[in-house]
Amino acid sequence: MSGTFVGMPAFPVAAKEAVGNPTLRGNLRHATHTIRAKRAKAVEEVSDWAELREAGKRIKDHTLRHLDRYLVQLEESVRAAGGTVHWAADADEANRIVTRLVQETGESEVVKVKSMATQEIGLNEALEAAGIRAYETDLAELIVQLGKDRPSHILVPAIHRNRGEIRDIFRAEMSEWGRPAPDGLTDTPAELAEAARLHLREKFLRAKVGVSGANFMVAETGTLVVVESEGNGRMCLTLPETLISVVGIEKTVPTWRDLEVFLQTLPRSSTAERMNPYTSTWTGTTDGDGPRVFHLVLLDNGRTDTLADEVGRQALRCIRCSACLNVCPVYERAGGHAYGSVYPGPIGAILSPQLRGTGSEIDASLPYASSLCGACYEVCPVAIDIPEVLVHLRERVVQGGPVVREGNRVVLKPAKGHAAERAAMRAAGWAFGRPGALRAGQRVASRSRRWHPRTLPGPGRAWSGTRELPAVPAEPFRDWWQRTQDGKGDAK
Amino acid sequence: MRVALFLTCVNDTLYPDTGRAVVKLLTRLGVEVDFPMAQTCCGQAHYNTGYRHQAEPLARHFSDVFGGYDAIVTPSGSCGAMVRELYPRMGERARAEGRGDGLATTLAPVVPKTYELTEFLVDVLGVTDVGAYYPHTVTYHPTCHGLRSLGLGGRPYQLLKAVKGLELKELPGAEECCGFGGTFAVKNSDVSAAMGADKVRNAASTGAEVLCAADNSCLMHIGGTMARLSTGMRPVHIAEILASTEEEPAV
């Protein structure tokens, strides 16, 4: 993934700052609770939601199992429709391809549809290094870009900002990028939207090159699909002469018919809408309509490696609805930036360490960024068992083991920093394997209870800093049982 | 019916009152309860922290100890979920790793016979009024594993509503995690504490005297936070409420 997150500290350190920031906490709490409640209502309306969820899961699993076949079919369909297909093994290759394609048009600026894939590879930074300016046109992405900020949510990248902050950003930054903010701009939603509309319209009408991602790619026809709320994406898809779409290979579906499922589950799960306002589809090029030139860059960047993991591969079913973020109690407190990835929240905690590997401090800490409450699994419209994958990745972090990286089987060593925990787990495992040892330990704890400290040293301090410790009782249960109910139990 | 109490290592060591309450309650309902002394731990802490291979001998031990009973009752939603949901998965993983069906076969007998307490009362014994008396205002926190892994649903509420003298207050944000999450409480202490504080504030807003749940691990975290925030509320395990009677009321 993008190099922009290299050097991020581990999740608990990054989260601490957000937890202590009342404005951020307030913004996140308000936004996630609002959309969470709306989503629940939108889903309740659909009588066959469980069946749709199962169908989505099956379509995705089937496609992933035969991805090699469907990708070849997709490539043939796109070519037949007049497009050109490029294959990118990693972020660098994808960035090189897109940069070259833009340079070949002779242009030095592009307009962009909101796209997770291009954020994942750090395309804007790569284009900038080549002297090409990329303008984000999604309203929230515009706010993030103008604010020299990072997105903190998959669907609502500026979720961490309130209206006052957005007004200040528009006033201070718009003029640097194009049309300045109107004089006397206030923080009312209508005025903010109008300022963005005026600013963006100039860019839409001027741009010769558009860059997009896609929510789905239909193998049978070579059609790409973008689902959005604002219509800005449709402007980028239809006005420029050249359109370059960068899409992760897992976004493939076999047929148009399969879209029927996702075009129901995605909008309800993401924005709580029955149907999203704009669904744009494009198939190659057509004379007299839309872009003259169409390029599709198919991005791997760790996806094939992820596909090789039989537990973790389910993360590739993700349709980027972000329902898991909105319902996650950890995301709500820690915010999206703490995850150190363009994919924050529960899905980010399982996707990023798979796409990037668990080598960095932040990636090794992400599988632990969850209380395993299961709310994410419950809301996931393609039934990704996120807690299962989190625990699976924890195992990878503490135990190491075989994984596939860049197509090769390698054996990972256990991550550093878990030695004390490993020893404690081993000791606990030893005692729990021997009821006599457990009982002896309980008795020592009970009999020494008057001398127990009120605060704990070492890692335990993290507990006693905010919570009282439970008092150890005078007698463990098993002693009471033997004393009072002796003979009833199986006393072996 | 031979019923075994699987108390869990946390309850055995730190919350023996819950164990005594379960024994008292089930005995009152005519169930003969055994406490197999060889029981230790289901292995959940190991499994969830990433030490699946170290959880396997504990799961085998659990099956050895409890395999001969008709029903295994536990006053812990999360330990119940470990057996019911994760033991089969451990068996599948062992098979996928080319280690054969041994683990799956060993663990299979205990999986369908393990019940969380409220589930056992409502589904197996078929009672919702257990003849309890508890003259206090109570709010109920449905713990995550009880709620989502075991699907306890309305069972605990049915049981609490039938308790004489008990006034049940609805908990705002009831289905949100309290922030315990086992080792999460230590590894991500700041986030965990923030979640706990929100849970306690929501509980305090109900004006109830008691916050009750079906899992002492969550209650340990919530209760520890309550004490630090000086709310005046008490955490109480649901078994202790259901065991309380007019003749022998719990405080």
Q: Where are the domains of chain B?
A: 3-124, 137-243
Across the interface, do A429 and B51 touch by the CB < 8 Å criterion? yes
Cα torsion A306, A157, A229, A377: sign: positive
Which are the contacts of A154, defined by CB distance < 8 A and separation ≥ 6?
A116, A320, A321, A322, A325, A343, A344, A345, A347
Give residue A431's pLDDT band: very low, low, confident or very high (50, 70, 90).
confident
- Asked if A388 reaches chain B (Cβ–Cβ under 8 Å), the answer is yes
What is the rounded radius of gyration, in angstroms, for the C-alpha atoms of chain A? 26
Give the Å distances, CA to CA, from A178 to A161, A185, A377: 22, 16, 43
* Per-residue pLDDT reduced to its tens digit, A118-143: 999 999 999 999 999 999 999 999 99
- Asked if A333 reaches chain B (Cβ–Cβ under 8 Å), the answer is yes
Last residue of one domain, picked from the residues A259, A285, A301: A301
- Asked if A415 reaches chain B (Cβ–Cβ under 8 Å), the answer is no
Q: What is the rounded CA–CA span in Å between residue A434 and residue A168?
A: 64
Name chain A contacts of B56, Cβ cutoff 8 Å.
Answer: none
* Chain A: closest CA distance from residue B128 (Å): 27
With a cut of 0.95, is the ipTM above it?
yes
**CATH number of residue A166's parent domain:** 3.40.50.10420
Residue A30 has pLDDT above 50, yes or no: yes
Structure tokens at B148: 């989502």
* Chain B: closest CA distance from residue A341 (Å): 18
Give the Å distances, CA to CA, from B97 to A456, B83, B208: 40, 20, 50
pLDDT at A487: 61
Give me the mean pLDDT over the A345-354 stretch: 98
Least confident of A451-455, B5-9, B110-114, B181-185: A451-455
Q: What is the rounded CA–CA span in Å between residue A89 and residue B89?
A: 34
Q: Considering only alpha carbons, which residue of chain A is nearest residue B150?
A: A374
Q: What is the rounded CA–CA span in Å between residue B116 and residue B76?
A: 6
Give residue A314's pLDDT band: very low, low, confident or very high (50, 70, 90).
very high
Give me the mean pLDDT over the A194-217 stretch: 96
- Asked if A394 reaches chain B (Cβ–Cβ under 8 Å), the answer is yes
- Asked if A369 reaches chain B (Cβ–Cβ under 8 Å), the answer is yes
Which are the contacts of A85, defined by CB distance < 8 A and separation ≥ 6?
A74, A75, A78, A79, A295, A296, A298
* Per-residue pLDDT reduced to its tens digit, A250-271: 999 999 999 999 999 999 999 9
Distance of CA B233 to the CA centre of its chain: 20
3-state secondary structure A210-234: EEECCCEEECCCCEEEEEECCCHHH
Q: Considering only alpha carbons, which residue of chain B is nearest residue A446?
A: B13
**CA-based nearest residue to B39, from A90, A432, A422, A61:** A432
SS3 label, residue A433: coil
DSSP element (H, E) containing A464: helix A461-464
Structure tokens at B23: 């024994």
Residue A492 has pLDDT above 50, yes or no: no
Give residue A491's pLDDT band: very low, low, confident or very high (50, 70, 90).
very low
- Cα-based torsion angle of the residue sequence B144, B148, B149, B152 in order, rounded to the nearest 10 degrees: 90
Name chain A contacts of B55, Cβ cutoff 8 Å.
Answer: 429
Last residue of one domain, picked from the residues A254, A278, A301: A301
Nearest beta carbon to residue B58 from set A311, A429, A470 = A429
Across the interface, do B16 and A374 touch by the CB < 8 Å criterion? no
Alpha helices in chain B (DSSP H): 9-14, 16-28, 44-49, 52-66, 77-81, 87-96, 102-107, 117-119, 144, 155-161, 184-187, 189-205, 216-229, 238-243
Last residue of one domain, picked from the residues A261, A285, A301: A301
Mutate to test the interface with B, among A337, A442, A480, A481 (most CBs of B within 10 A): A481
- Asked if A443 reaches chain B (Cβ–Cβ under 8 Å), the answer is no
Higher pLDDT, B187 or A458: B187
Structure tokens at B92: 């599948």
Give me the mean pLDDT over the A401-430 stretch: 88
Total domains present in chain A: 2
pLDDT at B199: 98
Mutate to test the interface with A, among B17, B32, B37, B218 (most CBs of A within 10 A): B37
Residue B71 has pLDDT above 70, yes or no: yes
SS3 label, residue B38: coil
Q: What is the rounded CA–CA span in Å between residue A254 and residue A58?
A: 12
Name chain B contacts of A438, Cβ cutoff 8 Å.
Answer: 9, 40-41
Higher pLDDT, A110 or A446: A110
Q: What is the rounded CA–CA span in Å between residue A60 and residue A253?
A: 7
Phi, psi at A321, each rounded to 5°: -85, -25
SS3 label, residue A332: helix
Give residue A4's pLDDT band: very low, low, confident or very high (50, 70, 90).
low
* Per-residue pLDDT reduced to its tens digit, A155-205: 989 888 899 999 999 999 999 999 999 999 999 999 999 999 999 999 999
pTM across the whole model: 0.95
Mutate to test the interface with B, among A313, A366, A466 (most CBs of B within 10 A): A466
Across the interface, do B224 and A463 touch by the CB < 8 Å criterion? yes
Least confident of A292-306, A430-444, B69-83: A430-444
DSSP, res B21? H
Name chain B contacts of A473, Cβ cutoff 8 Å.
Answer: 14-17
Mutate to test the interface with A, among B3, B11, B51, B61 (most CBs of A within 10 A): B51
Across the interface, do A397 and B50 touch by the CB < 8 Å criterion? yes
Query: Please, which residues 168-187 of chain A have a Cβ atom closer than 8 Å to chain B?
Result: none
Give residue A312's pLDDT band: very low, low, confident or very high (50, 70, 90).
very high
Cα torsion A248, A317, B178, A394: sign: negative
Placement of tokens 């006033």 in the chain: A171
Q: What is the rounded CA–CA span in Å between residue A396 and residue B239?
A: 38
Q: What residues make up the domain containing A58?
A: 46-301
pLDDT at A451: 84
Q: What is the rounded CA–CA span in Å between residue A115 and residue A270?
A: 15
Give me the mean pLDDT over the A449-459 stretch: 80
Q: CB count, 10 Å around CB of A359?
A: 12
**CA-based nearest residue to A36, from A284, A271, A290, A296:** A271
- Asked if A154 reaches chain B (Cβ–Cβ under 8 Å), the answer is no
Residue A25 has pLDDT above 60, yes or no: yes
pLDDT at A2: 41
Cα torsion A171, A173, A176, A177: sign: negative
- Asked if A467 reaches chain B (Cβ–Cβ under 8 Å), the answer is yes
Across the interface, do A467 and B47 touch by the CB < 8 Å criterion? no
Which are the contacts of A74, defined by CB distance < 8 A and separation ≥ 6?
A85, A217, A218, A219, A222, A252, A298
The answer to whether the beta carbons of residues A428 and B46 sit under 8 Å apart is yes
Indicate whether A26 belongs to any domain. no
Give me the mean pLDDT over the B128-142 stretch: 98
Residue A490 has pLDDT above 80, yes or no: no
pLDDT at A7: 72
Nearest beta carbon to residue B221 from set A431, A467, A492 = A467
Structure tokens at A376: 């994410």
* Chain A: closest CA distance from residue B20 (Å): 8
- Asked if A421 reaches chain B (Cβ–Cβ under 8 Å), the answer is yes
Residue B220 has pLDDT above 70, yes or no: yes
Q: What is the rounded CA–CA span in Å between residue A347 and residue A324?
A: 7
Q: Which residues pair with A247 in a beta bridge?
A: A298
Q: What is the rounded CA–CA span in Å between residue A420 and residue A442?
A: 22
The answer to whether the beta carbons of residues B163 and B132 sit under 8 Å apart is yes
Give me the mean pLDDT over the A25-46 stretch: 95
Angle among Cα A182, A188, A193 to the nearest 5 degrees reads 60
Name chain A contacts of B96, Cβ cutoff 8 Å.
Answer: 310
Average pLDDT, chain A: 93
**CA-based nearest residue to B29, from B120, B98, B96:** B120
Nearest beta carbon to residue B184 from set A333, A370, A485 = A370
Mutate to test the interface with A, among B192, B198, B199, B219 (most CBs of A within 10 A): B192
pLDDT at A429: 87
Q: What is the rounded CA–CA span in Å between residue B51 and residue A429?
A: 10
Angle among Cα A115, A119, A122 to the nearest 5 degrees reads 140
Residue A276 has pLDDT above 60, yes or no: yes
